[in-house]
Chain A
Amino acid sequence: MKKKKRVIPGFGLSFGIVMAMLGLIVIIPLCSLVVFSLKLSFHDFIETVTAPRVLASYKVSILTALIASLINAVMGLLIAWVLVRYNFPGKRIMDGMIELPFALPTAVAGIALTHLTTQDGWVGKIFAKAGIQIAYTRIGITVALVFIGIPFVVRSVQPVLEKVEKEYEEAAAMFGASRARIFFEVIFPEIRPALISGFTMAFARSIGEYGSVVFIAGNTPYKTEIAPLMIMAKLQEFDYASATSIALVMLFIAFLILFVNALIQSYTSKIVSGIE
């Protein structure tokens, strides 16, 4: 093939730098994971990932992440709606603090949430009266994951909601549709793809989350041990084979979630843009 000359300079340099850094930081480490995985015996792999304690940890991780992401989907949608549609004092502050979970180190969030929700903590006290324990239970894990996931749904729904032009709604209102109908039949279909993708991102992040969860989880085997913690535990025993096995299953789950999301997104974008 003839060497292409390009008008905008810097292709060779950029390509070289990007590939070198990508290779060192991402590709080589991932390859070593693959290489190491290939060395695992299939029998040991199955045995490790189907051990009851590991299975329980997957269950805890998926369940709490799912519940937390659902809560975030509902609250995130609500917050995005409030931020886009209403004017009220303090709106800019509310908008500005949505990213706090990205800015605040997860360990700090973890210890603060734990202390707040223990039985003599500020919040835990109130719930303790009702007989509900938060810290060191799955509820606690869910609370930490809700904290982590807030920005995902808000920030993916908000721009779309801003674009759903008010003419759309006005057109619907001209036909005499009620507010609820306008929302569910006109607005909701528009923001659904963004909502799903925000939910997916929060879910994927929550499943892998470690820093904020370890403190509040209490880490009781079979009950409140999350999958990342199992990997950590195996690593501390220098049992790299088991750690890798558990990690492979988690990676598989994460990619599956993202893949399903990609499918949904391409399906909906086909509807919107017309099926070719």
Chain B
Amino acid sequence: MGENTKAYVELKHINKTFGNYKASDDVNFTVEKGKLIGLLGPSGSGKTTILRILAGLENADSGEIYIDGKQVNEIPASKRGIGFVFQNYALFRYKTVFDNIAFGLKIQKKSKAEIKSRVDELIELVGLKGLEKRYPKQLSGGQRQRVAFARALATQPQLLLLDEPFAAIDAKVRKELRSWLRELINQVGITSIFVTHDQDEAIEVADEIIVTNKGKIEQIGTPVEVYSNPQTPFVVQFLGEPVTIKDFNQFKGFREKTKGDRAIIRPEFVTVTKKNEFNPYPVTTEEGIVERVAFRGNSLELTIRVHDELLLANRQIGQELIKEGEHVNVFLQRLYLVDDHGQNVAIAVNEALRQDESVVI
């Protein structure tokens, strides 16, 4: 990380305000060539602003933008060699699929034959053969995205920016398109940055995730790093299904004084066993009462009361059923301890696991 990597895209101290709203607050990051980056954050976190500043659609109030080693602050959007996929695709409604994709090439005054062969190639690539004559309104959401993608790639840009590429698509098709897009970007080998508010999307698609909040960058890392090792209170609160525990010191396995204003636990770190089931860590196991059992299709979501705190846990559907009101064993594997003043997060592992862990890793 940092100075020694060969940065393809680099943002240095970017600031941008809209009226009273600080959309970018000293944003710094670098992107390596060929990587697929996810800019992840809640709406209003400034992720789209970063993308638009990078594209040249918005001007930063201060800071420097480098693409391929060149400072591009003063270079107009159209000369930055960027392909941009808009949130709602911004397909030209009065042009056919073919003309949409060909537009950039026509502007560059390419020969007719050249345009034809390039567009055909792209249509083949995105799998829209036979739909060249259609207008955008005659296409499905997924097909529109494919057109937008092909259009952005037509002029062979070096950097592809995608603004919420899946937001306008039905949930069902979305998953399919995610892997399609990932494969396609790998195939083309283009450095890409996409914006999303959906953590699953970012985790699944990106090589590296940049988490933004209130105009600031909270954390940068691979999906695994960001997810399992959140560095700031915001990130730990934003990813997974966080449940806050105020008084975490009363839980067995976390008794020793650890610093932190509160703790966050995710369902995957809560193991629930029935009283009659095998429990490997009896010493650090708590007893809880099941308040609610919700069917989640492939699992059950349990809401359990332990020490007056409500925890969430998942249980496989094949296992013996747990009923509401039942007393169960609850074992907490790990907590994220949040220090709100220091703005940092520490991981606390259950005492019972600490020896094991040193063996495992």
Contact residues of A with B, CB < 8 Å?
Answer: 4-5, 7
Contacts and interface: CB of A to CB of B under 8 A. Distances in A.
B88 interface: no
Nearest to A2: B59
B21 to A, nearest CB: 16
B53 to A, nearest CB: 11
8 contacts: A4-B59, A5-B59, A5-B74, A5-B76, A7-B56, A7-B57, A7-B76, A7-B77
B161 to A, nearest CB: 13
A5 B75 CA distance: 10
A7 B74 CA distance: 12
A4 B77 CA distance: 13
A4 B57 CA distance: 11
Given A5-B59, A5-B74, 6 more contacts: A4-B59, A5-B76, A7-B56, A7-B57, A7-B76, A7-B77
Contacts of A5: 59, 74, 76
A100 B74 CA distance: 54
A184 B154 CA distance: 58
A4 B74 CA distance: 10
B50 to A, nearest CB: 16
Nearest to A6: B59
Contacts, number: 8
A4 B73 CA distance: 12
B56, B57, B59, B74 pick with most chain A CB within 10 angstroms: B59
Give the 4 A-B CB pairs with smallest separation, nearest first.
Answer: A7-B57, A7-B77, A4-B59, A5-B59
A4 B59 CA distance: 8
Contacts of B57: 7
Interface string B298-331: 0000000000000000000000000000000000
Nearest to B52: A7
Contacts of B74: 5
Contacts of B59: 4-5
Interface in B68-118: 74, 76-77
A141 to B, nearest CB: 49
A5 B74 CA distance: 9
A10 to B, nearest CB: 14
A7 B77 CA distance: 7
Contacts of A7: 56-57, 76-77
Nearest to A8: B57
A5 B76 CA distance: 8
A4 B60 CA distance: 10
B221 to A, nearest CB: 32
Interface string B39-60: 0000000000000000011010
A121 to B, nearest CB: 52
A113 B271 CA distance: 87
Nearest to A3: B59
A97 B76 CA distance: 50
Nearest to B74: A5
Contacts of B76: 5, 7
A12 to B, nearest CB: 15
Nearest to A4: B59
B80 to A, nearest CB: 11
Contacts of B56: 7
A132 to B, nearest CB: 57
A7 B56 CA distance: 7
A7 B55 CA distance: 10
A260 B94 CA distance: 42
A5 B80 CA distance: 14
A193 B57 CA distance: 38
A165 to B, nearest CB: 24
Nearest to B55: A7
A5 B56 CA distance: 9
A100 B17 CA distance: 50
Contacts of B77: 7
Interface string B222-252: 0000000000000000000000000000000
Nearest to B78: A7
B338 to A, nearest CB: 32
B225 to A, nearest CB: 35
B312 to A, nearest CB: 33
Nearest to B73: A5
A5 B79 CA distance: 13
A224 to B, nearest CB: 54
B340 to A, nearest CB: 29
Contacts of A4: 59
B71 to A, nearest CB: 15
A16 B56 CA distance: 25
A7 B82 CA distance: 13
A37 to B, nearest CB: 37
A156 B57 CA distance: 37
